[in-house]
Structure 1
């Protein structure tokens, strides 16, 4: 693997999704020596068609967007290698990334662009259902596409309530399904749901009904059949911060990295960008993080090198 410990790079980027690839494009154009280590499982690859990403008025699939970004990074010579980083530690002034295959690479700075893993509902043919828009994850991204439809929001707790209330922007027919988990809400939150006409169903789902290859209804353990046009998963997400635990960067209440305005963690030289950072999970935000982090890295290194 490029960048052995005796020839440190300027930076290691952990993750090859929209955040990591944008950082790679910037650093390549800044003529920096770096390496992207990509596990090959970006969350963006699940996007069937995004209509709110600027510059694509007819929408863009996650796979197409990633392919375009990889091609752009390659055009400027950005090195991207397949691998899964098991640990990222700081050794003196350098960061050392060790892959699950046992390879090591060292660099003066490091960028965590590892994203999050969605907690998925246990339903049949999940990937195909997501690709067809029958199960969605982001009401910010595609709420507009379900105007007037019958929506089921899968989840429990305050976050699920927030998503259910958000969906009332687009439709009057919203049901919150906890999949058998306790709703776990205050009386005030229950009143908020009732005030917006949102029913909460705390029964487990006993059966999933499909018609013409799509999820059409759910039957609860109590025998009630509930029909929907689209289901939203509001079960949360797990940030991929584990590889950087040896480096000791601080995380917030959600388990994501806390960063400053320049996407710097509290560990000098370690940056975090995209969904793994506290804030809004959007591709455009991740790309903005990447531009800021890469530019900060370049400027910092220029100063250290006495060139600025």
Structure 2
């Protein structure tokens, strides 16, 4: 039986694996291979890497560090979490894995524009498509930026990016904008242009990302989808863990969910899209897991 099964191998899951393995615990990391961090072409926002680091390189370094201390990574997707007395069974398509505790670090999935995968990935790699203005808004300073979104969410992202460049356009992804009077006034005051959708005909044209809108074809140095995200909390919710209306798992100050022994960290708890925040939560969760297991059976060497 594993002391802890970690579901998700992004920054939160890997940080927890490093901590828990160094606590001399038996750790299994279930990696479905779809961490959003792996899509980051180059981040300059991660402390300690002044020249930047790709998301994939960061994940590989973190995994190597966890494996150095004995953590076991398994390429598998969890399909269910079940209680078994004080313990758990984590199911994959072909196995039932017993564990004393479980940490869910499955993150979120961004809602993407309706564009071919190959084009999406190339645009992302070239910095023509971006998802995190907090992470990389600095890189679009004084460039031409399009924000694909509407409602309050789209308005807030456009205003945030207005702090980096005066050339910001908010484009509705699927027709006319849904903006109340206050949103319209805030955008007008900031000088943010509004264009109706739908968006289509996506293509990379030179060094810009171009697409069709209700006002014709537009091209931008970078485009930010502000279309929300899906919280990957289904496993915990199916096990009857409490969650907010939008699917974020409810946890206490020590990352404990409403189910004893089930923990959560990272964007599945609060979708801030910040690696540093996810890693901090994972460190708290891992330390709490260690102390819980020590209470149940004191650790001695």
TM exceeding 0.5: yes
SS of 1:135's equivalent in the other structure is: coil
Give the C-alpha shift of residue 123 in structure 1: 2.5
Give the C-alpha shift of residue 245 in structure 1: 2.7
From 140, 146, 149, the counterpart of 1:152? 146
Would you say the 8 A contact 2:123–2:204 is kept in 1? no
SS of 1:71's equivalent in the other structure is: helix
User: How is 1:104-119 mapped onto 2 (pairs within 5 angstroms)?
Assistant: 104-119=96-111
Map of 1:179 onto structure 2:
173
From 21, 29, 34, the counterpart of 1:36? 29
Pair 208,306 (structure 1): closer, same or farther in 2 beyond 3 Å: closer
Give the C-alpha shift of residue 195 in structure 1: 1.0
User: How is 1:146-225 mapped onto 2 (pairs within 5 angstroms)?
Assistant: 146-212=140-206, 214-222=207-215, 224-225=216-217
Aligned residues: 298
From 220, 224, 237, the counterpart of 1:245? 237
Map of 1:3 onto structure 2:
none
CA–CA separation in structure 2 for the residues paired with 1:81 and 1:88: 16
Pair 181,41 (structure 1): closer, same or farther in 2 beyond 3 Å: same
Map of 2:38 onto structure 1:
45
Give the C-alpha shift of residue 206 in structure 1: 4.3
2:18 equivalent to 1:22? no
CA–CA separation in structure 2 for the residues paired with 1:299 and 1:33: 14
Give the C-alpha shift of residue 225 in structure 1: 3.0
Would you say the 8 A contact 2:129–2:209 is kept in 1? no
Pair 34,207 (structure 1): closer, same or farther in 2 beyond 3 Å: closer
| Gap regions ≥5 residues in structure 1 | 1-7
Give the C-alpha shift of residue 139 in structure 1: 0.2
Map of 1:4 onto structure 2:
none
CA–CA separation in structure 1 for the residues paired with 2:38 and 2:203: 27
SS of 1:85's equivalent in the other structure is: coil
CA–CA separation in structure 1 for the residues paired with 2:7 and 2:112: 24
Give the C-alpha shift of residue 207 in structure 1: 3.1
| Gap regions ≥5 residues in structure 2 | none
Report the TM-score, using the length of structure 1 for normalisation: 0.92
2:66 equivalent to 1:73? yes
Give the C-alpha shift of residue 198 in structure 1: 0.9
Higher alpha-carbon deviation: 38-47 or 275-284: 275-284
RMSD: 1.6
CA–CA separation in structure 1 for the residues paired with 2:250 and 2:5: 19
Map of 1:141 onto structure 2:
135
CA–CA separation in structure 2 for the residues paired with 1:285 and 1:209: 34
CA–CA separation in structure 2 for the residues paired with 1:244 and 1:115: 12
Map of 2:222 onto structure 1:
230
Map of 2:54 onto structure 1:
61
2:261 equivalent to 1:300? no
2:77 equivalent to 1:84? yes
CA–CA separation in structure 1 for the residues paired with 2:60 and 2:197: 42
Report the TM-score, using the length of structure 2 for normalisation: 0.94
Map of 2:253 onto structure 1:
261
Higher alpha-carbon deviation: 10-19 or 277-286: 277-286
